[in-house]
Chains A and B, each alone.
Chain A
């Protein structure tokens, strides 16, 4: 792929504008509250789009398209079963406590409601998770740019993080949020034409459905990672393949895991407690704007599957028909792996140990799964007449068995975009990366400065001191993310691993917030031990279970193999369900056994039953959160039924 001048010009204009916004906002950054909280002055629609955009990192785009290819339209459950109801719940029921308590962060709410221990635990785990999420996203971007454009892995990391660094340092949360709005439009307008061209090429939605009916009855033909066939609806219906059980859908999940694990625990745990997104709502100018933030965000979120999941399905459809020579992308074998691989090929071609053993040994050398028929053909040719190293390299690359699903979205971009549109689509990818990264960095620097540094390391310093600390830690956070990016290189599907991390940290957390906000009897000891117990449960659960096809180790069962799940996704959903339930039960039991530490007066504004209901008599009826929320849920239900 060779980029033209026009493509670089588009990227530069974009970079110029985001950096320019940072500089334009610099003069408003006077106090630490301006830097970390935007001085609570942002209008609702900006908060709403920033709320969405902070979550729409490169990981979301790349991972959702990958899941769209692997699992089909059922991936929409992440949106229509998970995100939307959770966002409605946040706006209608939880936001009054986050915003009304005047807490500066989610961990600080925990301190006000419970005590320092819970806050400390939450802020530390959150800090670690944010850095990891950011690192995984960085890795995804750099690998894509490397494999498709030949850009240097480290170079693309350094340049794109440097841009984020500059505008976050200059304009703090305000510039992160304002650029997120700009990036939101960039992402939508940059990818929409690619998806449209893809859909047109494959013959429209109903033609795509027909093709995918065929694919689901013979998924192995495309190297879709499944050992058996499904009913015709497996890729094109969201509920029909889930209801009969794990064997009937490529996700390998059952209805309970889907509803309770993903729809309730994971989604509510993410959208209702994750400071990354909630920070955007907390920056709103008043209570009703704060409550409308997630509700405004829910509208485009509901339509996003067309932009992020559909490309994956289109790619599978195109690959299946073989139309215009499209095939699913494959990861380039790294140059470092070839010397050992060539030795393995040469030795396997001379000894007659059988194809399976030879494929296994060469696969290990290459570090990727290989197709045994193609390896056998290669060995036969090599035995007949020694091939050159270059030939072996090409044949090995061609013998890769598993497609690289993370490359799906960029493979469509490179297929359909002429110079010009190409620059726009790549800029959209960069924009999504930057919005996700800036989101993580601003959440990280706030939690570090207010909840760890000011709380424990250096209390009672001047405001200027904390603002400077925020700037230093912005730099540190970006460097740490870079380190995590290198760790993340070992995983094939970025979404699965991030779900796993969320399962460890977020799943039990939602139980703590639910009880904290809606049950005044929950005590601080109960909350703290419940949270520890819940997180410990996730760890133990992960240590005792594994997904079929994975070896015991990093992907689970490092204690012993008690339960084997049909897929990693099922494992994650069940893990979340267990962690949440154990945290809930532990917190209730311990709370009842201990005496209350906070009086009713202290909990005013923090707990539902002790807080006066918000009355907004001057609010027009159709802008009331309850009305908006109900409307959103009805639309969501409609989508579920339509694609049933």
Chain B
């Protein structure tokens, strides 16, 4: 099949990760909101994890695309 699934996976997780991390930054001062998550800004940190995961996926997808050409 002509679709490399790493591409949409990479795109989705970089997008979700960025969204979550930015939301985490924007709400970071709201300590009441993060009481439930043991006073950790999980949105920021987990958003970064998702972003890195997505970026790695994208990297490999693009790498194989260029090495084919």
Contacts and interface: CB of A to CB of B under 8 A. Distances in A.
B13 A185 contact: yes
A480 interface: no
A144 B2 CA distance: 38
B38 A200 contact: yes
Contact of B33 (A21, A46, A193, A418): A418
A415 B35 CA distance: 10
A376 interface: no
A418 B37 contact: yes
A421 B20 contact: yes
A17 B33 contact: no
A13 interface: yes
Contacts of B12: 13-14, 17, 182
B25 to A, nearest CB: 11
B61 interface: no
A17 B12 CA distance: 7
Nearest to A46: B5
B23 A21 contact: no
Contacts of B2: 28
Contacts of B11: 17
A25 to B, nearest CB: 6
Contact of A25 (B1, B27, B37): B1
Contacts, number: 91
B1 A193 contact: no
A410 B49 CA distance: 22
Interface stretch (A37-45, A122-130, A383-391, A458-466): A37-45
B46 A6 contact: no
B8 A424 contact: no
Interface string A1-40: 0000010011001100100110011001000000000110
B45 to A, nearest CB: 8
Nearest to A9: B19
A6 B19 contact: yes
A598 to B, nearest CB: 36
Contact of B42 (A21, A201, A418): A418
Interface residues of B, number: 29
A419 interface: yes
Contact of B5 (A6, A9, A181, A420): A181
A181 B34 CA distance: 31
Given A10-B16, A25-B1, A178-B3, A17 B38 contact: no
A435 interface: no
B10 to A, nearest CB: 10
A340 B15 CA distance: 51
A189 interface: yes
Nearest to A185: B9
Interface string A274-292: 0000000000000000000
Contact of A417 (B16, B24, B27, B36): B36
A133 B21 CA distance: 37
A201 B38 contact: yes
B50 to A, nearest CB: 6
Interface string A566-591: 00000000000000000000000000
Nearest to A198: B38
B50 A417 contact: no
Majority-rule SS of A interface residues: helix
A25 B3 contact: yes
B8 A182 contact: yes
Nearest to B24: A420
Interface string A429-444: 0000000000000000
A20 B5 CA distance: 12
A421 B47 CA distance: 9
Given A28-B1, A178-B3, A418 B34 contact: yes
A608 interface: no
A379 to B, nearest CB: 37
A497 interface: no
A173 to B, nearest CB: 10
Nearest to B40: A197
B20 to A, nearest CB: 6
A420 B46 CA distance: 10
Contact of A420 (B3, B8, B23): B23
Contacts of A419: 23, 27, 33
A533 B50 CA distance: 52
Contacts of A13: 12, 15-16, 19
A266 B1 CA distance: 35
B55 to A, nearest CB: 14
Contacts of B8: 17, 20-21, 24, 178, 182
A200 B33 CA distance: 18
A421 B34 CA distance: 11
B19 A24 contact: no
B20 A415 contact: no
A421 B13 contact: no
B37 A416 contact: yes
Interface string A473-511: 000000000000000000000000000000000000000
A419 B5 CA distance: 29
A38 B19 contact: no
Contacts of A42: 1
Interface in A46-64: 46
Contact of A421 (B5, B15, B46, B53): B46
A420 B15 contact: no
Nearest to A201: B38
A537 interface: no
B13 A424 contact: no
Given A38-B1, A417-B37, A189 B53 contact: yes
A415 B37 CA distance: 8
A174 interface: yes
A421 B19 contact: no
Given A25-B3, A420-B23, 9 more contacts: A13-B15, A20-B8, A182-B8, A189-B50, A197-B42, A416-B36, A418-B33, A420-B42, A424-B20
Interface of B: 1-3, 5, 8-9, 11-13, 15-16, 19-20, 23-24, 27, 33-34, 36-38, 40, 42-43, 46-47, 49-50, 53
Closest 4 pairs (CB-CB, A-B): A420-B43, A17-B12, A178-B5, A420-B23
23 contacts: A6-B19, A10-B19, A13-B12, A21-B3, A24-B8, A25-B1, A178-B1, A182-B8, A185-B13, A185-B53, A193-B46, A197-B37, A197-B42, A200-B38, A416-B37, A417-B37, A417-B42, A418-B33, A418-B37, A420-B27, A421-B42, A424-B16, A424-B20
